[in-house]
């Protein structure tokens, strides 16, 4: 990323500057279209030259994303996008790196790689599309499919307990965790901007529709009336309230246990006030699930921590300062064995 007083001025981009010449090949009606358009729309606001932006993906419907962005990109192998992104950030810490993945790619075969990129706090922005199904392989259940889900690979219903992506990210140490919805363009754009501006591992779960194999998986948040009842917009420093104006509800905490109450029945000071710097309460918030609780959307947590690339660079400088520069070629040709001190 170009910085400093002598850095070249970033061109004044528009959304069209980030649209590639490739035909977009997702199924008509797929939620991926809205996500792609929103990302392209918000890119000019980052203030980063196109040549300093990289999109990295694994395998799945979402992983076609780099083809459709007029930036640099890698379409890599199943689940390994976080590992590729880590290597790129270590080699080129000046680049702005995005990882695009899905609930299958990122949380099944890629779960191990996702864990490590988050706990290391590598400075990448991760967009995880969650449609609760394997779309590219034609409708098998995924790590986020609900218990009892009937699919082509689970004709009697899934016996797996689903992964909660945001709770997973918080549990392994992500420093920015958020959730948004593909059909709420304004909210998604604002959430993605905040994630991209964060310095460290930023994880955004995007609830996304697969209208072919799992249509309306998030229908409770799509329908205008049910959305009011079941969507909880979280904002730092504000009480957690939801529901229609004439029957407003809120969350209170009894110890570490959340409880839904009618807003008219408790004093204002009893409401749970969202604190995005509190990882413990963010974990409780991320774990709330319908129908007992509303679905929280927005920035659940944002904290500061050293980033992996800086720690590695500092370690290398210290090693050279204390031990002098190394000579790898000489080491490798010095014999059958060698000693590293």
Q: Which residue has the higher pLDDT, 72 or 3?
A: 72
pLDDT tops 80 at residue 309 = yes
For residue 290, give Cα distances in angstroms to 230, 232, 233, 257: 7, 11, 15, 15
pLDDT tops 60 at residue 1 = no
Name the H helices within the chain. 32-42, 65-68, 81-91, 103-104, 111-119, 165-172, 185-197, 224-230, 279-286, 308-323, 328-332
Please report, for the chain, the start and end positions of each structural domain, with discontinuous segments joined by +. Answer: 15-217
- For residue 232 the two structure tokens come to 């909880």
Instruction: Report DSSP letters for 234-251, one per residue.
Output: --TTSB-EES-GGG-EEE
Please give the Cα distance from 214 to 331 (Å, whole number). 56
Name the residue among 50, 51, 46, 115 with its Cα closest to residue 86.
Answer: 115
**253-271 b/e (C-beta count within 10 Å ≥ 16 → b):** beeeebebeebeeeeeeeb
Q: Give the pLDDT of residue 335.
A: 79
Instruction: Report DSSP letters for 194-234, one per residue.
Output: HHHHSSS-EEEEEE--BTTTBTTTTGGGTSHHHHHHHEEE-
Name the residue among 143, 138, 162 with its Cα closest to residue 214.
Answer: 138
Q: Give the pLDDT of residue 6.
A: 61
Question: What percent of the chain clears pLDDT 70, i.e. is strictly above it?
Answer: 97
Please give the Cα distance from 98 to 36 (Å, whole number). 13
pLDDT tops 90 at residue 3 = no
Split at pLDDT 50, 70, 90, the class of 64 is very high
Q: Give the pLDDT of residue 5.
A: 53
Tell me yes or no: is domain 15-217 CATH 3.40.50.970.
yes
Q: Model's pTM, two decimal places? A: 0.92
pLDDT tops 90 at residue 328 = no
Q: Give the mean model confidence (pLDDT) for residues 310-318.
A: 93
Please give the Cα distance from 1 to 232 (Å, whole number). 35
pLDDT tops 70 at residue 18 = yes
- For residue 155 the two structure tokens come to 């004709």
Name the residue among 199, 101, 90 with its Cα closest to residue 144.
Answer: 101
Can you say whether the dihedral through the CA atoms of 130, 135, 141, 142 is positive or negative? negative
Q: Give the pLDDT of residue 7.
A: 60
pLDDT in tens, 140-180: 999 999 999 999 999 999 999 999 999 999 999 999 999 99
Q: Give the pLDDT of residue 227.
A: 94
**Mean of the per-residue pLDDT values of the chain:** 94
């Amino acid at each position: 990323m170009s910085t400093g007083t002598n850095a070249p001025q970033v061109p004044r981009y528009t959304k069209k500057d980030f649209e590639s010449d490739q035909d977009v090949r997702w199924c008509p009606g797929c939620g991926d279209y809205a996500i792609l358009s929103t990302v392209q729309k918000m890119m000019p606001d980052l203030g980063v030259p196109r040549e300093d932006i990289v999109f990295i993906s694994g395998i799945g419907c979402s992983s076609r994303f780099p083809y459709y962005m007029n930036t640099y990109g890698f379409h890599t192998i199943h689940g390994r996008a976080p590992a590729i992104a880590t290597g790129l950030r270590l080699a080129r810490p000046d680049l702005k790196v995005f990882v695009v993945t899905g609930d299958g790619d990122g949380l099944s075969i890629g779960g191990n790689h996702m864990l490590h990129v988050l706990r290391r706090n590598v400075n990448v922005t991760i967009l995880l599309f969650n449609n609760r199904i394997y779309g590219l392989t034609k409708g098998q259940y995924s790590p986020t499919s609900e218990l009892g889900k009937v699919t082509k690979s689970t004709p009697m219903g899934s016996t797996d307990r689903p992964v909660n992506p945001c709770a997973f990210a918080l549990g392994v140490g992500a420093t920015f965790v958020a959730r948004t919805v593909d059909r709420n363009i304004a909210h998604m754009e604002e959430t993605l901007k905040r994630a991209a501006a964060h310095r460290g591992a930023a994880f955004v779960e995007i609830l996304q529709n697969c209208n072919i194999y799992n249509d309306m998986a998030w229908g409770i948040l799509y329908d205008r009336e049910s959305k009011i009842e079941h969507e909880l917009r979280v904002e730092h420093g504000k009480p957690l309230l939801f529901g229609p104006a004439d029957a407003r509800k809120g969350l209170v905490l009894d110890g570490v246990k959340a409880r839904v109450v009618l807003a008219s029945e408790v004093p204002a000071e009893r409401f749970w006030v969202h604190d995005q710097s509190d990882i413990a309460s963010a974990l409780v918030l991320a774990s709330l699930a319908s129908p007992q609780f509303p679905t929280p959307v927005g920035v659940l947590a944002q904290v500061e921590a050293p980033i992996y690339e800086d720690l590695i660079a500092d370690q290398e400088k210290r090693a050279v300062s204390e031990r002098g520069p190394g000579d790898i070629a000489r080491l490798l040709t010095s014999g059958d064995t060698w000693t590293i001190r």
